[in-house]
């Protein structure tokens, strides 16, 4: 079931607040094959999406920034739209098509590893397991292609989907890497992604903090 995220709000790029790194797969290995992760308005059958399994620990997260990393393409630099997919992960593949996520503003510029696709958001997630991915929306005829880079993180799972089936791998979610090399990534790499924000205190903790303040005032 795709999560309904009423707290989703897109912030203007450049508006920043103090944030912690919540999930870090930003150690890009540019020598590893990259994978198409791009939504095309002009060739929709080739639109492809990637998500990575992310574990949100207690007491939950407030996500304020998501960054994904791509290979070089100067035409991409600027302000565009992206598709933010956040699915519940009870184990196995999501049931949703890859283009079912929320539309968000993205800013694309250069960083240490090539292109950085950045979305500033405001999303609360309860503790649990999720699939999260951010896919830029750029027409091939105008912008060409860049490809989602890899980070050497073992023991996690990146999923890929081409709902239109034009690449010949079917239309369902599948793993972005396999041991027999029938796809293009090695088996010990995942998509490069960085998630920033803050840990959100659980409601019980907030109540205790309020109680402690009340006790403190009474003591004074």
Query: pLDDT by residue (tens digit) across 69-110?
Result: 999 999 999 999 999 999 999 888 887 777 789 999 999 999
Contacts (Cβ under 8 Å, ≥6 apart) of 132? 51, 52, 54, 66, 85, 86, 87, 193, 195
Q: Which residues contact 212 (CB under 8 A, 6 or more apart)?
A: none
pTM given for the model: 0.81
Candidates 64, 71, 75, 61; CA nearest to 115 is 71
pLDDT, tens only, 63-78? 999 999 999 999 999 9
């Amino acid at each position: 079931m795709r999560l309904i995220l009423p707290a989703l709000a897109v912030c203007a790029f450049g508006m920043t607040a103090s944030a912690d790194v919540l999930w870090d797969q930003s150690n890009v290995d540019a020598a590893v094959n990259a994978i198409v992760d791009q939504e095309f308005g002009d060739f929709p059958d080739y639109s492809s999406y990637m998500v990575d399994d992310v574990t949100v620990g207690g007491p939950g997260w407030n996500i304020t920034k998501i960054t994904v990393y791509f290979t070089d393409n100067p035409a991409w630099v600027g302000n565009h739209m992206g598709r933010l997919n956040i699915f519940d992960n009870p184990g196995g593949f999501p049931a949703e098509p890859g283009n079912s996520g929320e539309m968000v503003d993205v800013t694309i510029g250069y960083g240490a590893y090539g292109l950085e696709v950045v979305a500033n958001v405001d999303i609360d997630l309860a503790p649990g397991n999720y699939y999260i991915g951010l896919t830029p929306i750029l027409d091939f005829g105008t912008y060409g292609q860049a490809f989602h880079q890899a980070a050497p993180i073992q023991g996690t799972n990146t999923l890929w989907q081409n709902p239109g089936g034009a690449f010949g791998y079917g239309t369902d979610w599948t793993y972005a890497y396999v041991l027999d090399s029938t796809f293009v990534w090695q088996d010990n790499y995942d998509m490069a992604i960085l998630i920033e924000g803050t840990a959100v205190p659980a409601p019980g903790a907030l109540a205790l903090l309020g109680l402690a303040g009340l006790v403190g005032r009474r003591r004074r």
